[in-house]
A = this chain, B = another copy of it.
Amino acid sequence: MQINPSSNRCGSSDPKVIACLKQAEVFFQDKPKKLTPARRRVLEILLAHGGVLSAYQILDRLKSDGKAAHPADAYRALDFLIEYKFVHKVGHLSAFVAYTRPHATHTTFFMICRKCDNVAEAASPDTNDMLEKVASEAGFLVKQQVLEAFGICTDCQDDAGTSANT
C-alpha cells in the first residue's frame, strides 16, 4: 500500500477537503482563538467523511489515530468549529457535518438523506431573508437559523430505481 506523500497526516487527499482545511487555517491565522491540531483534525475527519458523524464516531476516529481520546476532546473541538461556522450540528440526528461552502455568511440549507446520511448544502439567501422578515414582524430577534430538509438524495433515488434494494 502506497502512502500519499502529501503533508496531511492520515486524512483525505481529496483536493476539496484540502481546500476547505486551508480556508479554515487562513481564517484563524490572525484570530486570537487558534485552529489547533486537535481541532483541525476533527474538521478534517468531518470533511473527509462528507456526511454526518456522531461525536462518538468522531471520537473513534481520533482514537484510531493512536493516542487516547475522550468525549470532551471531540465535543470541545466541535463546539469550537460550530462557533466559527465550520461545522453544523444536525440536531435531529445528534450528529455533525462540516460546511464545504466558503464559510457562509448566510445560513446554509442542509439536505440530509435518510438512507445514506450524506448531506448536500445549498445557499438560500432568499429563504433566510424571508424567515428573518417573518421573525422580525413577530418581534423576534434572530440569532441563528436552522434550515434542514430530510429526505432522499439523488444517488439513493437512483439506487432504488436500478438494482439495489438494501
A residues touching B (Cβ–Cβ < 8 Å)? 89-94, 109, 111, 113-114, 120, 122, 124, 126-127, 130-131, 134-135, 138-154, 157
In the complex, what residue of chain B is closest to A155 when comparing beta carbons?
B139
Pick the residue among B93, B109, B154, B157 that contacts A134 (CB under 8 A). B109
B145 touches A148 (CB 8 A): yes
Residues on the B chain within 8 Å of A131, using CB: 109, 124, 127, 147, 149
- When the two chains form their complex, are residues A149 and B122 in contact, meaning their CB atoms are under 8 A apart? no
A148 partner residues in chain B, CB cutoff 8 A: 145-146
> In the complex, are the beta carbons of A130 and B140 less than 8 A apart?
no
Assess the A150–B154 pair: CB atoms within 8 A.
Answer: no
Most buried by B among A111, A114, A152: A111
| Contacting pair A134 B127 (CB below 8 A) | yes
Do A149 and B142 contact each other (CB < 8 Å), given the known contacts A127-B134, A135-B111? yes
Task: Decide if B124 touches A141 in the complex (CB within 8 Å).
Answer: no
List 26 A-B pairs, Cβ < 8 Å. Answer: A89-B92, A90-B91, A91-B91, A91-B93, A94-B94, A109-B134, A111-B138, A113-B140, A114-B143, A124-B130, A127-B130, A127-B131, A131-B147, A131-B149, A135-B149, A135-B151, A138-B154, A139-B153, A139-B154, A139-B157, A141-B151, A141-B153, A143-B149, A143-B152, A146-B148, A146-B149
